[in-house]
Structure 1
Amino acid sequence: MIKVSFAAFYLVYAEVMNWVVPDFHLDVCDFLEDYGALGLLMMPRGHGKSTILDVYNAWKLYCSPDHLILHQGATDPDAYKVSRGTEQVLERHPLCQIFNIKKARGETQKWWVSGSTDVRHGSIHARGILSNVTGARANEIQNDDVEVPSNIGTPEAREKLLYRLSEQTHILIPGGQKLFVGTPHTHDSLYTRIQKLGAKCLILKMFEKEKRFEQVIEAITDYKPVYIFSGIGTNSKLLKEGTDYCVEQKGNIYLITFDESHYLIDVYSEALWPERFTPQIMEERRRECRTINEWDSQYQLHAKPVGNVRLDPDKMIPYEIEPVLKRANGQHIMLLGERQIVGITMRWDPSSGKLKSDISSVALVLHDDFGVKYWHRSVALTGDVVTHDAHGNIIGGQVWQLCDLIKDFYVTSITIETNGIGNFAPAALKGALKARRIRCGVKEIHSTGAKNKRILEALEGPLVSGLLWVHTSVIDTPEEGENSSRQYKNMRMFNPAVTEQPDDDLDSLAGAVTDSPERVGKIHRQNEVNESPNWRSDGGVVEAALDFEH
């Protein structure tokens, strides 16, 4: 048998099929031929990754009929497409015909090629990622677009997907290979995790170079602008040079001047496959994308959810200073930098007694008289709610940790959400405060109504208006294996339509934000009242002496 490289194998088949092969397809061929033990291939929609995978599987079976491939897609029907595609390549490829490499027996789900000596495990075994493949064995496992909205829409779905992927470790024959192919659909993308595991990666974006601008009439890039889009969705437009904008080159810098201000501008370099994805087609696709996240994830391969993010943590303003308590004119004042703090709220949402909750979350929010809310601390209390010594004295537990926070920030009142825990937590905290000789009011509240609605009503407005700031202690503690903190991740993943999701930090924050009343601040006191002229006549000023007799 004549052994050829995959690139040569692919070009022979492309000649048979009368395909025009772009240069990046050969880069993909070289990558697939030598991606090692773990590989990640990411390409935009419509760039032929599934077609290349069909030919690749045929090439692997052409090189070794005993090679076992487990191909898993999002669902069984998705996986069957590659199974049928591979079968077609074997039937039509000249080298496979010459050496009689073809499907010998089996059905679409599992079949064997001629020359295979394994009677139990198919040469191609195609199943959905959530299907049971516990008894399978494979030299190579392929995960083709297994991350889709239906598989990651809820925490339970994401956990199930990760569990199925972990099962592949036991299916893979020692020394085997594992390949991931697809596009991201969420911030917490599976493909981001694969990169962190040290996978060999080939990531080909629709446009190699990109810059985004908001509310601009001028923009500067360090590359030649080829595609400039305004807006997203049905109102988006591919701008034309000379009509909608002009470009002036100054050395390696390009100054772009628009004929009018645009709320969103994306400036891109040349497309990956310009012959197929013409400017007209790209404008049509841009208009069909409902959100900018959908465009970014499916074409620029950024780890973002396809839909809009209701609570975007990137809209919060970070700060790193601590409040200082000072005494002036016989009064104590608290300052955060140059801002005077006029209120401080703390909300504790205990986890004890609740189903599907493992975080006993505390949120500390500072308030200034400009209406800004400062998310200063977000703490997950650990251990028992309260611990006692042999004499019954309180010596530790979550309430003890709370006392430390109350003392450090001079908190005068704390609100405890009593859902699921009754009066146990407030009573325990009051006992701890007494033992620590700390004066602080304890309020109890039993929350009613939809929690998701409560979170949105409290947080969405301050986020959009720029009135929610966040301390770096909240954002600089990423979870293990994550790029961002637990709080940031939960905000990005928050879905108002999902009832069970990790939202304890958000719930406590929402409570702390709304526990303080809105104030009319300095910004309003600086404005004088605009009084209307008094046009009504009066009787002048009259002096009269009064003499009251007793």
Structure 2
Amino acid sequence: MVSTKEHLKSSTRFTDPDPLKADFRNFLYVVWKHLGLPDPTPIQYDIAVYLQHGPKRSIIEAFRGVGKSWVTSAFVCWLLYCNPDHKILVVSASKIRADDFTTFTLRLIKEMPVLQHLIPKPDQRESKVAFDVGPAKASHSPSVKSVGITGQLAGSRADTIIADDVEIPNNSQTQAMRDKLSELVKEFDAILKPGGRIIYLGTPQTEQSLYNELPNRGYQVRIWPARIPDEKQRAIYGERLAPYIDDLIAKGWKAGASTDPKRFSEEDLWEREASYGRAGFSLQFMLDTRLSDADRYPLKLSDLIVMSLNPTLAPLKVVWASSPELAHNELPNVGFAGDRLYRPMWVDKDWTEYTGSVMAIDPSGRGGDETGFAVVKFLHGFQFVTAAGGLPGGYDDDTLLKLAQTAKLHGVNHVIIEANFGDGMFTKLIQPVFHKVHPCKIEEVKHSMQKERRIIDTLEPVMMQHRLVIDPRVIEQDFKSVQTYPPERAQHYMLTHQLTRITRDRGSLVKDDRLDALAIAVAYWSEHMARDADKAKAALRERQLQEELDKFLHGIGGKGRVPNLWVRV
């Protein structure tokens, strides 16, 4: 990549006498100087080249913070500078986001001397929703129009459609949301004029991203990751990796180095990875959606049994099945594509009281952690989740009181508290609250095993045997409870998201408080199940030995059954 001054000088080689029209990079440089910004970075220049010369159906995937929306706003101005009759439709996930794009574009037109001939005339449209440029001919369609993806798309016409971050956490958290978004963007083809162009700007928000589906519809993807990818990642990106990144690798740049060091140092990227978590950083900064491979994630929603639970009674047996007609399609589902929540195929008509009810609590550490809790009841080898969630904070009176009230509501007779944080301080604080609201046994448990492995090793066997039953109200409340968090962080707090995204890699989850609490409660009953199994095995062996003795006595003419003299094993 040539320097900025060399680039401006070399641009005069183009046949167009106006160097700003000949090469969008020249125009971008002028815009950046007007805004008082440093020179565009090499990656921003590379994105500019793709905007100008890319295919009719393009997807620009660049890491967060690279400035792709700003570059594209300048590109919209450049399109109008080159051809005032060009029609552009800007679509974003929200109307506000789309309007902000349009407003910024209109301000550039009004403030930059080179663009002031494009300022709308008094008799033309001029608003943040839609505006015309001065030289444009009369038309039903404005020069630039903004709309939200769920807004009124029908009736619009455009030469260029800019889909700027149409996928965000709020519209891609569940499979139903992703399916809806996939259908909405099909409307673009009805809006586009013959010979027109559709350009997506985005960062994958989920492992099942819309941007992974669009290539099947004829779109070409260009990816600019934040770090130089290693060999495995390059194999995954394939031809989608920007040639600029390939050039850096050819020049000897090492895997892991920042691809945009002028703006993001390697230390900065490490800090962001620590904040986002490994999975989040892979999506947001490396644009690596390999994590969509469900085989990496051992815990699946489809292994759960979802049914309404009684506070005091449970069926003696429940039978799991995964037939389509049993799917709980009305529940929020944040699992991977194809992962569903299922009702039981059969429920025993005989119900009886639970063996017991335990509440597990994972106290909040620091920062944005929650105090996770889960109430799990037990009967005949099945575990029943009647409550689970997270509470902001950890040691305040309101949190302690809510935990005690929840335990009372669900008839908890045993509370287990993760004691790895605070040297037992949480237990000391919560004991008097429980003594006043709901007296019951309280004990601490400590763990030394890596958290991710412990959680998976606890939950996987129980779920694969379809012995974990969960109330649908738990899933609904889990989804509703995180809506107060910022959209980009909300899903990380959800129990079902944590359950389906955990891997054996250390730090695979940004948040794990709710899932850890569930694992602690399940581990408690699993140990009981193991002890019961040992007792049953010993009883069976004793019974078999007694039967052999009876046969022996009967064979030698003995009468009756001798007292059981066998020592219990």
Normalised to the residue count of structure 1, the TM-score between the two structures is 0.49
Which structure has the highest strand share of the two?
1
Normalised to the residue count of structure 2, the TM-score between the two structures is 0.48
